[in-house]
Copies of this chain bind each other. A is one copy, B any other.
Amino acid sequence: MIPTITAFERSPDGGKGLARDTRVRWALEEVGQPYAVRPVSFRAMREPAHLALHPFGKIPTYEEGDLALFESGAIVFHIAEHHAGLFPDDANARARAITWMFAALNTVEPAILELATARLLEGDKPWSRERLPLVADRVRDRLKQLSAHLGTADWLDGVFSAGDLMMVSVLLRLRASGVLDEFPGLAAYVSRGEARPAYRRAFAAQLAINAPLE
């Protein structure tokens, strides 16, 4: 059975691949699972039919037979658990890959989201200019630690895993700020993720929906 995911009918990022459906597309491409996409408008995201699938009115969702999931972390986890390619076979290595998924989503992404919020939702506030550097420094604190852990390794824990998929996806949201480039090791790590054929297919697929019409 081919699963169906939801994505923005038109992503606010105009096709940069930063919406959370890209993570799920990437995971599906890594494991070679075909999928269908149902685009959802901003209006439809607030309507009962979508809220029944996603209580927070966001994308992506994931439907497969009588299973319906939301949250990109949970969907990527589900894909990794049911297909080979995103979790190591060794039980301890698998537990560490899951740890990196949670670290990406609960320790690294919140700081990055706060920076995005400071720019997008509070950029016109009188405190924005003075506050932005404080918020960016909190991101830098996390990246310093992450960079120290990664060192010169290709991936966070041996071979590429769902933990890397999620961490790269989270770090990508930072590129426009310039902060990622202050950490060349992490910038190279993100580039390694983007160079994977599965990522490129996922990126192209979301771009086909989201790119401005010529």
Query: Could you tell me which A residues sit within 8 Å of B by CB distance?
Result: 51, 55-58, 66-67, 69-74, 77-78, 92, 95-96, 98-99, 101-103, 105-107, 109-110, 113-114, 117, 121-122, 125-127, 130-131, 134, 138, 142, 145-146, 148-149
Contacts and interface: CB of A to CB of B under 8 A. Distances in A.
12 contacts: A55-B149, A56-B145, A70-B99, A73-B105, A74-B102, A77-B98, A105-B106, A114-B114, A114-B117, A122-B131, A125-B130, A127-B130
B95 A67 contact: yes
A117 to B, nearest CB: 7
A133 to B, nearest CB: 12
A146 B55 contact: yes
Given A55-B145, A148-B55, A106 B109 contact: yes
A148 B109 CA distance: 26
A125 B114 contact: no
B101 A74 contact: yes
A122 B131 CA distance: 9
Contact of A71 (B74, B103, B145): B103
A61 to B, nearest CB: 10
Given A69-B95, A103-B70, A127 B131 contact: yes
A138 B113 CA distance: 13
A127 B130 CA distance: 10
A27 to B, nearest CB: 14
Contacts of A127: 125-127, 130-131
Contacts of A131: 122, 125, 127
A51 to B, nearest CB: 8
Given A56-B145, A72-B102, A121-B134, 19 more contacts: A55-B149, A56-B107, A56-B142, A69-B95, A70-B99, A71-B99, A71-B107, A74-B98, A74-B101, A74-B102, A78-B98, A102-B105, A105-B105, A105-B106, A110-B110, A110-B113, A127-B127, A127-B130, A127-B131
